[in-house]
Amino acid sequence: MSAALALLGCGEVEYGVEADGERLPVIDMHLHPGDWSHTPPQTQEFLAGRFPFPFQLTPERLAGRVLSAEGLASELDGAGIGTGVLLAVYAPRTVGIATNEDVIADVKSAPSRFFGLASLRVDRWNADEATELARLRTALGEPGMVGVKLAHAHQLFRMDDPRYFSIYALAGELGKPVYLHTGTSPFPGTAQAPPYTDPTYLEAAIAGHPQTTFILGHLGYDFKDKQLGALAACIDLASRYPNVYLEPSALGSRSSDPTGANLKAVMRRLREAGLVDRVIYGSDGPQSPGFVKEYLGRTVTAMREAGYSRDEMRAVLAGNFVRVFAVAEPAQ
C-alpha cells in the first residue's frame, strides 16, 4: 500500500501520507461512531455479514470495540490518519441512530483527533420542526461540532421537499457545511428512488441557499449496481454552483468497486472537470477493522494513477476540509 504509515520507535505514530518526499496530513471526514443496540435488527444482520470471520459470530463485540471513540482513534492510528470526523445519524428505520450527544462526548474525549457533524430527526417534521431545529442549533454550538449530516435516502425524505429547506437555512446562518448522502444504498429499507438519491433533486435547495455549503457524499454512486450512477449530475452541480463540494467515500471500497476502476475513473473525471479544490476526502468507516486504512490506500492509488500532483493530493486529503470547515490544519 502506498499510503505509507511510518511506525517510529516506542509505538509512536507518524501521521500522513508520503508523497514525493513530503508527508501530507489526512482528515477522514466520514466516520460512524455508534451504539450497536441502536441499529435495527435487519441492518445488524447486514453489517455482521460484512465482518471478517470469526467476528461475524459475535458482531456486537466487534462493533462495540470498533465504533467506540477509542476504537475509532485506533483505526485512525492504524491508517496513519491524524483527524477523523464523526457523524451523528438519525435514521431509526434504516441504518439506525448515533446521537448528537454521543458524538459531542466522543469529540470532547479527544478534541485533537475528532470533529463532529450533528444531525436531527425528520420523521415527525410537521409536528417537531421547531424542536428539531433548536436541538440542531444547540448541538452545533458545542466545541468541535463543525457541520450537519443528512441522508435523505436513509431518513426517507425527498431532496426537493421545501418543508425541509429550513435545515439548509439554519446551516447557512451558522456557517456550518451540510454533508448529504447521495446515490443508492445497500442498507435494508433505504428509499432508492431518484428524489431521495439523485442530487439533481437538490438543485432548488442549492440554488436557494447560496450561503450554505453542500457536500455531496458518495458522488451519487449506485451502490446497488456498482456503477458511477449520478456522478455526472454531481460534477454538473459543482461546476455551476460554488457552494457545492464532493466527497468520494465508500464507492471505491473492495466490495463496491472490486477492481478499483470506478474510484480511479471518478478521481480522473473530477480532475478533468477542474474540481480538485472541491473534493474532500472521506472513507465511510470504520465498517470493519482495517477498512479506514485500506480506503485511504485505495484513494491515494486512484489519485496517483489519475495524475494528481502532490499539491492536488494535499488539497483532497486535508486542505479543502480545513478551508471549507474553517478549522486549523492538523499537526503532523
Min dist. Cβ of residue 185 to Zn ion (A)? 9
Residues 6+ apart with CB under 8 A from 115: 83, 84, 85, 86, 107, 144, 145, 146, 325, 327
Q: Is residue 300 within 8 Å of 18, Cβ to Cβ?
A: no
- Residue number, 257 or 284, with CB nearest to Zn ion: 284
Min dist. Cβ of residue 251 to Zn ion (A)? 11
- Residue number, 106 or 284, with CB nearest to Zn ion: 284
- Residue number, 5 or 263, with CB nearest to Zn ion: 263
Q: Rg (Cα) of the chain, in Å, rounded?
A: 18
- Residue number, 33 or 144, with CB nearest to Zn ion: 33
- Residue number, 102 or 284, with CB nearest to Zn ion: 284
Min dist. Cβ of residue 131 to Zn ion (A)? 25
CA distances in angstroms from 248 to 199, 258, 316, listed in the order given: 14, 15, 10
Residues 6+ apart with CB under 8 A from 329: 25, 318, 319, 322
- Residue number, 154 or 271, with CB nearest to Zn ion: 154
Distance CA 220, CA 177 (A): 18
Min dist. Cβ of residue 291 to Zn ion (A)? 12
Min dist. Cβ of residue 211 to Zn ion (A)? 26
Min dist. Cβ of residue 30 to Zn ion (A)? 6
Positions that interact with Zn ion (CB under 5 A): 284
DSSP lists the bridge partners of residue 217 as: 181, 247
CB-based closest residue to Zn ion = 284
Min dist. Cβ of residue 284 to Zn ion (A)? 4
- Residue number, 24 or 95, with CB nearest to Zn ion: 95
Contacts by 231-240 with C-beta closer than 8 Å and gap 24+?
231/266, 231/269, 233/198, 233/199, 233/200, 234/182, 234/199, 235/269, 235/270, 235/273, 235/275, 237/199, 237/200, 237/202, 237/203, 237/206, 238/273, 238/275, 238/278, 239/273, 239/274, 239/275
- Residue number, 16 or 34, with CB nearest to Zn ion: 34
Distance CA 274, CA 302 (A): 17
Min dist. Cβ of residue 32 to Zn ion (A)? 6
